Amino acid sequence: MEISVVWILGIYFVPVFYGFEVEARNLQSPQIEQPYRTAYHFQPPKNWMNDPNGPMYYKGVYHLFYQYNPYGALWGNIVWGHSISYDLINWVHLDHAIYPSDPFDINGCWSGSVTILPGDKPAILYTGADTKKNQVQNLAVPKNLSDPLLREWVKSNQNPLMTPIDGIDPNFFRDPTTAWQGPDRKWRVIIGSQINGHGTALLYQSLDFVTWTRSQKPLHSSNKTIMWECPDFYPVNIHGKNGVDTSMQGGATATKHVLKASFNSSDYYVVGNYEPKTDQYLVVTDFMDGTQPPLRYDYGKFYASKTFYDSAKQRRILWGWINESDRESDDIKKGWSGLQSIPRSIWLGKNGRQLVQWPIKEIEKLHGKQVNIHNKELEGGSVFEVVGITASQADVEVSFDLPNLQEAEFMDLNLANPQLLCSQKTAYNKGVIGPFGLLALASNDLTEQTAIFFRIFKSQGKYAVLMCSDQSRSSLIPDLDKTTYGAFVDLDPLREKISLRSLIDHSIVESFGGEGRTCITARVYPSLAIGEEAHLYVFNNGSQSVKILSLSGWSMKKAQIVPIQKRRKPPIN
């Protein structure tokens, strides 16, 4: 495929895809009219958006499909929206890929995935709500593989391919994963379900991707969870950060497998060993087991996520839906609801127990004016402003050096609930070592602020690092969800520096602690700290001093999100 990029006055990018012209018009609304509209997170121009569906890299182009309501800012009338990009940052919107039109999906085209079949043929598996509103699994393929943008999709005349029989509740049978191929050449896919009230990943197999047979046993299930929505199952390298194709079977010494399930408004995951010949999946610590809080991709606003293997850069990319924290009446007034997280590279951490996430490197294309601070002492009770960058639209990285850790407060980790701790020990509750961190989207007088911070505790002969995202003072507007989030960061402060990276974008703050070992995303709606009135501070409210080893902050440019304007006429020979 032929792609060229034209820069006009250094502002607008105009992708010229073969046979198409694109209008150079940014669809992000003016910040004065829409103070909570993001500048560099993915959003459609208007209306409701939720789950990311079937992201993929195909012949030089990144595709993102997503649940979309073309008629309003609230959930309903769901179709598959479709947008394309060449860098995962700047996007072009296309017409809807899949919409209700047949008895097997007339009541909605719900979440699903894309699998690239042999011969470079993408195939969508998605959940449809049929005439009885039963959930069934359907297939769609590109109408024209020679179209590099894959604008039109055709539904299989054999739909539905999988139906809720053999005791499956038709209300709990949805969200097929990306399929993978076993050593017997059969395709496998899992469907999210609930059996006897317990979360389950039903396993299906097929030789031709059309005729599917349910396996006798599910891939995995749990008696401690409810319905599993939007499951995901994929291999990760044991050694190194490179991603692994979904069908790659590297063996127990080379890869582990991640199973993710969405429930309780969060995305939980487990890491285990998968045997492709027997489809046996074994984990050491299962969902909701163990003394420590269960593993989650993100401990804030983050749901219905989906990963894909980026073959161009040999990495696995994670997307997540970030919903609103305001009221439905606010969304109707704004004319839109929901956005996608910044795409994150994801890999298995060195300890082999948990995943690490980091914003994709392409986001650095949006870096503008930069500020740097080094070796600055922060005495207890001090706060200072980071100036020189746009605080409402920024990327900030900071690392801290700590004093004598022996003075840290004691805590029994076996009894600790990190989110409750963060709610009780806010940024304004003084400790010994911490709280210290950032005050984002803050007003000049700190009446409004979103605090992202750390506290250090002693526990059973070691140290515990608590990371918090406190929205309790994020806005003067009443009746908003101002939940405070918290989680522990798996690092040893005796041997490692404590670091924080926050992506600030008007109404969202995505934070990555410990170089991506703990992630917390917040949605906030300040009434004072808007646009140029927003400020960014670093603070220390502990009795012990801490030192800023380094701080780098950048103003962020707007991502360019444009619609296709028209099809060019073919040249005359």
Question: Distance (Å, rounded) from C-alpha 414 to C-alpha 405?
Answer: 20
* Nearest alpha carbon to residue 266 among 224, 222, 297, 290: 297
**Burial 110-149, CB ≥16 within 10 A → b, else e:** bbbbbbbeeeeebbbbbbbbbeeebbbbbbbbbeeeeebb
* Nearest alpha carbon to residue 304 among 83, 94, 106, 110: 110
Active site residue 395: no
Question: Distance (Å, rounded) from C-alpha 26 to C-alpha 17?
Answer: 18
* Nearest alpha carbon to residue 173 among 187, 161, 155, 158: 161
Question: Distance (Å, rounded) from C-alpha 490 to C-alpha 463?
Answer: 10
Question: Distance (Å, rounded) from C-alpha 287 to C-alpha 226?
Answer: 11
Question: Distance (Å, rounded) from C-alpha 127 to C-alpha 403?
Answer: 54
- Type of residue at 344: R
Catalytic residue among 51, 298, 326, 505: 51
Phi/psi of residue 385, nearest 5 degrees: -90, 140
Question: Distance (Å, rounded) from C-alpha 493 to C-alpha 405?
Answer: 8
Burial zone of 362 (CB within 10 Å; 0-12 exposed, 13-18 middle, 19+ buried): middle
Question: Distance (Å, rounded) from C-alpha 371 to C-alpha 506?
Answer: 19
Q: What is the CA radius of gyration of the chain?
A: 24
The catalytic residue positions are: 51
